[in-house]
Homo-oligomer: A and B are copies of this chain.
Amino acid sequence: MKPTVHDIAREAGVSLSTVDRVLNGRADVRPKNAERVKAAVRKLGYVRDTNAANLAKKRRYNFVFVLPEGPSSFVDTVAAAVREAADAQVTDRADVEVRYVNAADPHAIVKCLKSLDLGQLDGVAIMVPETPQVRDAVAHIKSAGAYVVSLVSDLPNSRCDHFIGIDNFSAGQTAGALLGKFLRNETGSILVTTNSMVARDSIERRYGLDEILSRDYPGLTALPTIEFHDDAKRIHETLERAISEHPELRAIYSMGSGNTAMLDALRDHAGDKNLVVVAHDLTSVTRQALVDGGVDAIIVQNVGHLARSALRVLRAKCDDIEIYEAQEQIRIEIVMRENLY
């Protein structure tokens, strides 16, 4: 039988009320008694039954997810995963709201963060680029007693409670290693694309790629990163030019969003080059490309895991419970046609 507060009270030789006051820090307790209670807790190995406590408190957790708005199939998959995870947890005292902001507009982000009802709020998961304003807004939320986790892209200078996502430097390394192994005895160059290099994930991935290539695969050269800011026409032109100008081109690494247009353009211009293609994030587009053979491998962060992990971590923070690190580690997955799920 697990010990209860009653057992603690008996063991410590104090009343239930006193135990409660110590455990919940509710009033002044004479140091001697407080120490007795703590000793009893240690001795009996008491752990509070969070479920019973939440029941008594009528506790509900109010969480908000702030995601970037605008057309992005990856964000869509994240949003869907959040909603699904929230539905599955709704029996578990958590209310989850999803809000969208223009992630390119720091002012809009801050406005959204400021508009949160801090009285009700227990935690926020945010997926936006870090700016000084965002950093301040995070600090403000935290000072109101709510918890903040960053999702997908880290906010290293903000005082977040946790980062839920992959290590993008390692992800870039992984891409580099895949490309290196796929092009085992070949030499040549790799075209690197992303939608925008302002997001820190792209930057980190690029660093990781370069590091691995120069260390382990010196025969492969990564070309300068091409950014195409949601501009399909530009992608077509750039890709066409790159292919004709670089006869030694062997592979393409698509680091960020914008896979749809990139893959379309590739189909048009690749010809018989038989390029190796590695991209990020599993969406309907990349999924289809895997099946068609247009992409060799996708580097994935499982969005279901992201969403559930964010909820679990926020809850653990609220309950002041330790995080079960092994479970919350988001892995860099490599998905090919054969292990597609």
Contacts and interface: CB of A to CB of B under 8 A. Distances in A.
A178 B109 CA distance: 42
B304 A327 contact: yes
A208 B337 CA distance: 13
A254 to B, nearest CB: 17
Given A84-B326, A308-B327, A341-B331, A336 B177 contact: yes
Q: How many copies does the complex hold?
A: 2
Contact of A338 (B51, B55, B177, B183): B177
Interface stretch (A136-144, A168-176, A187-195): A168-176
A181 interface: yes
B184 A336 contact: no
A50 interface: yes
Given A47-B91, A55-B55, A84-B326, A333 B334 contact: yes
A54 interface: yes
Interface in A293-341: 296-297, 302, 304, 308, 324, 326-327, 329, 331-339, 341
Interface in A100-123: none
Contact of A333 (B84, B333, B337): B333
A291 interface: no
Tell which of A176, A183, A327, A331 has the most Cβ of chain B within 10 Å: A331
A329 B49 CA distance: 29
Contacts of A91: 47, 49-50
Contacts of A302: 331
A52 interface: yes
Contact of A339 (B52, B84, B170, B341): B170
A23 B183 CA distance: 62
A28 B47 CA distance: 41
26 contacts: A47-B91, A49-B55, A49-B91, A51-B52, A52-B55, A55-B55, A88-B324, A88-B327, A174-B339, A176-B338, A177-B336, A177-B337, A177-B338, A178-B336, A181-B276, A181-B296, A181-B297, A182-B184, A183-B184, A184-B184, A184-B276, A212-B338, A304-B326, A304-B327, A332-B341, A333-B339
